[in-house]
Amino acid sequence: MAIFNLKKREIECKVVYYGPGRCGKTTNLEYIFGAYKKQVKGEMVSINTEGDRTLFFDFLPIGLGQIRGCNVRVQLYTVPGQVKYSSTRKLVLRGVDGIVFVADSLEVRREKNMLSLKDLQANLKEYGKSIFKVPLIMQYNKRDLADQGIPLMSIEQMERDLNRQLKAPSFSASAVRGDGVGATLKECLKVTLQSLQREFQWAR
């Protein structure tokens, strides 16, 4: 739920990284925190449980500077992927403006990806939002593991599993190496701001 301050010409919006447990959501934010120093506007806050799994959320504020005469600030969040933290996921998703769905390329996580996407759809519906209309980007993460001979799904298969109907922009990534992390975020910010622009007509 973006906050507009027309007098100060400021926008603050919310982007949430969603996906199954251990798919690399927190790793995405950690990479952004380290690599985009100029944009990062504060500390990254992580509230974790056993084994560095996210318990509540990660939070990272970034700033994009002036866009069409407006100062744009973005709050990046991750949700906890573990199935049992369902109510926290819902809470963190509230008021979301744009979503990055991080899917795990490991073959053994195929079903978990699909379940998590379904969970996202259900939670959005609770807030009266449609997964087809919300700004959404797909990220196929952990592509680097192919080098070590670990069975990964092909991009085609992941598109079929997860993106056949949604047709969201999608990116391959390796969050540990940082590959594709920036491209994913940039595209997400682009579609999110376009959607807010349509909704609020703030420019000019």
Partner 1 sequence: MDIKQRLKALLQEAEIYRTQGLISEAHDKYKSAADLIHSINKLKNKESLLKAVSEKIRALDSTKEKVDKGAETPELSKKAQDLIKNLFAFSENTDADSAALEGAVALAKFGQFDRAVVELNELLQKEAVRVEAAKNILRCHLASATVDEAISQYHEWFSGDQFQPQQLEAVRIYLDEILQKRGLTMDLPSAQTAEAALLEETAVEAETIVEAEEEFLDITSIGITFDKGPRKGKMVEFDVNFQSGNMLSLIISKQEKEVLEHLAEGMKLQDVQFFSPIAIFNGAGVVASKTQIKAGPKQGDYCLDIRIVSS
Ligand X SMILES: Nc1nc2c(ncn2[C@@H]2O[C@H](COP(=O)(O)OP(=O)(O)OP(=O)(O)O)[C@@H](O)[C@H]2O)c(=O)[nH]1
Binding site for partner 1 (CB under 8 A): 1, 3, 21-22, 45, 47, 49-53, 55-56, 59, 75, 82-84, 86-88, 91, 94-95, 106, 108-109, 122, 126, 145, 148-151
- Closer CB to ligand X, 145 or 166, in the complex: 145
Spell out the alpha helix ranges (H) of the chain: 25-35, 86-93, 110-126, 155-163, 181-200
Residues of the shown chain interacting with Mg ion in the complex, contacts defined by CB under 5 A: 25-26, 54
- Closer CB to partner 1, 130 or 204, in the complex: 130
How far apart are alpha carbons 198 and 161 in whole angstroms?
30
Q: How far is the CB of 25 from ligand X (least distance, A)?
A: 4
Helix axes 110-126, 86-93, angle to 10 degrees: 60
Q: How far is the CB of 169 from partner 1 (least distance, A)?
A: 26
How far apart are alpha carbons 19 and 58 in whole angstroms?
13
Q: How far is the CB of 33 from ligand X (least distance, A)?
A: 12
SS3 content of the chain, % helix, strand, coil (to 5): 40, 30, 30
